[in-house]
Amino acid sequence: MGTHRRPRPAGRTRTAVLGAAAGAAVLLPSTAAWAEPATGNLDQVKAKVDNLYEDAEAATEQYNKMDEQARQLQDQAGKLQERLADQQGKILQLQDTLGALAAEQYRSGGIDPSVQLMLSSSPDDYLRQAGLQDLAGGQQTEALRSALRLQQSIDQQRTETSAKLAELEQTRTALSAKKTEVKAKLAEASNVLNGLKAADRARVLADNDPAASRSSSRPQSYTGPATGQVKAILDFAYAQLGKPYGWGATGPNAFDCSGLTQAAFRAGGVGLPRVSQDQWNAGKRIAKSDIQPGDLLFYYNDLHHVGIYIGNGKLLHAPRTGKNIEIVPIDVMPYMGAVRP
């Protein structure tokens, strides 16, 4: 991922799905002019661009988390609405039952007041009043009690559904703001780069770190000793080498860091959460001296970057916007820890 600044602690902040344009690795168009710096200041420019890319990746993981929450909320609200419709259907059936009871009572000389009330009012109005009455015994009492329980359940589910929908709307608003934040940082980086001469742009985008310079993104196959699930995970990961990083992308043509690890482990039959911070809690913590191929390695204080250990001190990961999935030494970024799912 190139030369990085020292990480700063960051707080942890998808129902829109990112389109191909959002996941593309090309930089956004320039929006303002940037003065060509003096040659001696290119290191400062490089640091600025690297910082912007790093900030954008951290914000991407926050975006992914909110997007996942929005999907879950949408699913929960849908299920609540289905249950609500089912309960309302049942209370209509009970009204039919009470109607039959009323007809029978009428033929027998009169309708019980509680049944009459049920049939002449909305269920809500009836049950508020019926709760203050002593209901008659027999078949109608059980029907009325069932209606009361159903109505109470309906009222609760209406409240829960409203709360979920309100939470979903708030999450969508935050999601939109986070998407804007990511795009703004990438646009600023693009603006800086577009203001440079071609040679200077190449220098800024180059990996000057000796460790990073040993990276490889050329297509290749896994040839190590791993077997079973781990081999399936690594076979999938190796097959993605050279594909572009795409923020919020989960394949098949582009990936962000946690999208790649999630897809690779899925290929091995192992489920992982969507975002890096949650993947950190998806297995057993492993000491750096004990890491094995197939372990997840995490980077930066806020754990916003993750990759797969492939052995021999190497990491396979999706780095950041403008770069491709690659293999690098594990110490190319600030290492935080390892997890074995």
Please report the pLDDT score of residue 324 as a whole number: 93
pTM for the complete prediction?
0.58
Is 257 part of the annotated catalytic residue set? yes
Q: Which of 305, 314, 320, 323 is catalytic?
A: 305
In a domain, 32, yes or no: no
Q: Residues 6 or more apart from 340 whose CB is under 8 A from it?
A: 283, 284, 286, 292, 294, 295, 296
**Residue 126: domain span:** 12-20+37-206
In a domain, 179, yes or no: yes
Query: Does residue 171 sit in the same domain as residue 86?
Result: yes
Is 304 part of the annotated catalytic residue set? no
Q: Which of 65, 274, 317, 320 is catalytic?
A: 317
**CATH number of residue 105's parent domain:** 1.10.287
Is 305 part of the annotated catalytic residue set? yes
Please report the pLDDT score of residue 19 as a whole number: 37
Last residue of a domain, one of 172, 187, 206: 206
Last residue of a domain, one of 174, 206, 238: 206
Reported as half-sphere exposure (CB side, CA atoms, 13 A), residue 104 has a value of 9
In a domain, 85, yes or no: yes
In a domain, 243, yes or no: yes
Torsion, Cα 307 340 332 186, to 10 degrees, reads: 30
Please report the pLDDT score of residue 86 as a whole number: 75
Q: Tens-of-pLDDT digits for all 341 residues of the chain?
A: 444 444 444 443 333 333 333 333 333 333 444 455 544 487 788 788 778 877 878 888 888 888 887 888 788 778 777 777 777 777 677 666 666 655 655 555 555 555 555 554 555 555 555 544 444 444 555 666 666 677 677 777 778 778 877 887 888 888 788 888 888 888 888 888 888 888 887 777 776 444 444 567 788 899 999 999 999 999 999 999 999 999 889 999 999 999 999 999 999 999 999 999 999 999 999 999 999 999 999 999 999 999 999 999 999 999 988 889 999 999 999 999 999 99
